[in-house]
Structure 1
Amino acid sequence: MQIQITGLFGLIILIADIYALINVVQSRRTSTGAKVVWILAILFLPVAGFVAWLLFGPRDK
């Protein structure tokens, strides 16, 4: 049971990170340097990078 819960949590984090990466790459208001920083933060700190992107990331709307 523990392996299934851990695997599910990892899959959710992976999906959230892919969603964040796609949005960073497609962002029109963000400079190239800022995009690189966001991408590195999301890749190297998957949970913290995603949460930071949710709170402080660019808003295209």
Structure 2
Amino acid sequence: MFGLGIIGLLIYAYTIYDVLTSNFGPGNEKIVWILVVIFLPLLGTLLWFLVGKRSARQY
């Protein structure tokens, strides 16, 4: 059980790092994504990898 918590924490930390290092166009998208990931950890992480990464790659 403890190992799953560490894996979850590592995935969460990687998500924050990935959002911070992604290229976004002009605007506040990066700030919005950081807030989503911080305040909704599980849902924010899933949304980032399903939706956010694609929108960040366009720029």
Gaps of 5+ in 1: none
- C-alpha distance in structure 2 between counterparts of 1:13 and 1:34, whole Å: 24
How many aligned positions are there? 56
What TM-score, normalized to structure 2?
A: 0.73
- Pick the structure with greater CA Rg: 1
What TM-score, normalized to structure 1?
A: 0.71
Structure 1 ranges of 4+ moved more than 4 A: none
Gaps of 5+ in 2: none
Task: Work out the percentage of aligned pairs sharing the same amino acid.
Answer: 34
